Amino acid sequence: MAYFPEVPKIPFEGPKSRNPLAFKHYNPDEQLEGQSMKSLFRFAVAYWHTFRGTGSDPFGPGTMSRPWEEGDRHAMDLKRVDVAFEFMDKLGAPFYCFHDRDVSGEGDDLKETNALFDKVAAKLKEKQEETGIKLLWGTANLFSHPRFLHGAATSCNADVFAYAAAQVKKAMEITQQLGGENYVFWGGREGYQNLYNTDMKRELDHLAKFMHMAVDHAKQIGFKGTFLFEPKPKEPTKHQYDFDAAACCNFLRAYGLWDHVKLNIETNHATLAGHTMHHELAYSSMQDKLGSIDANTGDLLLGWDTDQFPTDIYLTTQCMLVILGQKGIGPGGVNFDAKVRRESFEPIDLFYAHIGAMDTFARGAKIAAAIRKEGRLAEFVKQRYSSYDSGIGADIEKGTASFETLSKYVLDKGQIAPNQSGRQEWLENLVNEYL
Ligand code: XLS
Ligand code: NI
Ligand code: NI
């Protein structure tokens, strides 16, 4: 049975093609800086948005037409695996990601819930083997069920902490069974709404304990995947503890988790934090913590996590400048944590959205590679800091300068070297030359 009978396997037809069901730029075997596009991007489909998204928003219910969604919900969980793999196979996405509760529902208790999860996982495994599609990362949904209303690892209720731990244990084990290459922690409701009722110190200590338990459990079961911490400043809580890349880095360092966890950076979360994606990527990468990205985009005029598919070539160029700068992103990837908008309710819109986003990344990568090849941007930056390459600047960097020696240097010199222009407009023009 085919769920997308009108859609063929999406071909690469090149930039001149006007076929909306073809790639214009994403050509999996094409080489960029010595890697195939397929292995450079490691594109992943997000199970929650693409196969569970209903199109509901705070003002109204779902709008999506998904003709296959019908009947018994547990049987549907199994049938949906066929839908998902047909979609991903036709799209040519090498990876997917899921939360435990995206793929299988809750039972009456954890035992039954786990048994349901096992059943769907067995089918996921079968389909992975049949299609060659792999699991980029698994995670646990610790935010939808009402038991998590005060958070999970940061809940004031120790039994909820225990439940969350049991759930993550199972999600890690299934991720391992499915050969998942990473495991993600996004702090759903790990934050606060009101400091009057919150012991922030205890909550953060508990979150760290929780992540240490995950690290220990990984050792115990031999899970070799990378742990990824996903920053987000707010929503659903007004303050999320994993606020931004810098806050996450501080948390990991402070609690002895530095060597065990990298970051999964999401565009719309970066902008909610008042940063650009470029900033969050550059910050994580310079810390050697850029592990994976959740590729989406927000809407400048809407203040929430709209999770739209990325279509902005400047955005993807900036992403790829950083990613190519660190020679790729594996074992992470580019996961489309993105949803079609409520008005795009037909199944075919899922294809248009993913094809466009993959092409936008491919185009951004070609542009970034061209910029890097000519090296003018890098050369400008190098020149801009060249006063630190020798003399007093080199002493400062080496740590052999002090206030005493610097004061003497300036007093002896009399006139210091003049500043030079930052040339921002020229550099913006320079990037445009490659578009
Ligand atoms: C929500 C997050 C979520 C994580 C996985 O805003 O982006 O989807 O990626 O829990
Ligand atoms: Ni995300
Ligand atoms: Ni998000």
Query: What pLDDT shows up at residue 190?
Result: 98
In this structure, are residues 180 and 138 in contact, taking their beta carbons and an 8 Å threshold? yes
Reported confidence tier of residue 267, pLDDT bands at 50, 70, 90: very high
Mean pLDDT across the chain, nearest whole number? 98
Given CATH 2.40.30.20, say whether it is the number of domain 31-374: no
Q: Which protein residues have a CB closer than 5 Å to ligand 2 (ion)? A: 266, 294, 337
Distance 144 CA to ligand 2 centre (A): 15
pLDDT > 90? residue 1: no
Tokens matching residue 281: 């990527």
- Please write the tens of the pLDDT for every residue from 299-341: 989 888 899 999 999 999 999 999 999 999 999 999 999 999 9
The values of phi and psi at residue 16, to 5°, are -85, -15
- Please write the tens of the pLDDT for every residue from 192-244: 999 999 999 999 999 999 999 999 999 999 999 999 999 999 999 999 999 99
Query: What pLDDT shows up at residue 242?
Result: 98
Query: What pLDDT shows up at residue 166?
Result: 98
Distance 28 CA to ligand 3 centre (A): 27
Tokens matching residue 392: 């007093």
Residue 24 contacts by C-beta under 8 Å, 6 or more apart in sequence?
13, 14, 15, 16, 17, 359
Residue 141 to residues 93, 274, 308, Cα–Cα distance (Å): 23, 26, 21
Q: Across residues 164-188, what is the average pLDDT?
A: 98
Query: What pLDDT shows up at residue 303?
Result: 81
- pLDDT above 70 covers what percent of the chain? 100
Q: Across residues 351-370, what is the average pLDDT?
A: 98
Among protein residues, the one whose CA lies closest to atom 4 of ligand 1: 186
- Please write the tens of the pLDDT for every residue from 277-299: 999 999 999 999 999 999 999 99
Give the rounded distance of the alpha carbon of 226 from its chain centre.
13
- Please write the tens of the pLDDT for every residue from 114-158: 999 999 999 999 999 999 999 999 999 999 999 999 999 999 999
pLDDT > 90? residue 37: yes
Which sequence spans correspond to the domains of the chain?
Answer: 31-374, 390-432
Q: Across residues 348-360, what is the average pLDDT?
A: 98
Residue to substitute in 294, 305, 306, 334 for testing ligand 1 pocket (most ligand atoms within 8 angstroms of CB)? 294
Query: What pLDDT shows up at residue 304?
Result: 83
Q: Across residues 393-420, what is the average pLDDT?
A: 98
Q: Is the CB of 337 under 6 A from ligand 1?
A: yes
Query: What pLDDT shows up at residue 293?
Result: 98
pTM over 0.95: yes
Residue to substitute in 49, 101, 182, 230 for testing ligand 1 pocket (most ligand atoms within 8 angstroms of CB)? 230
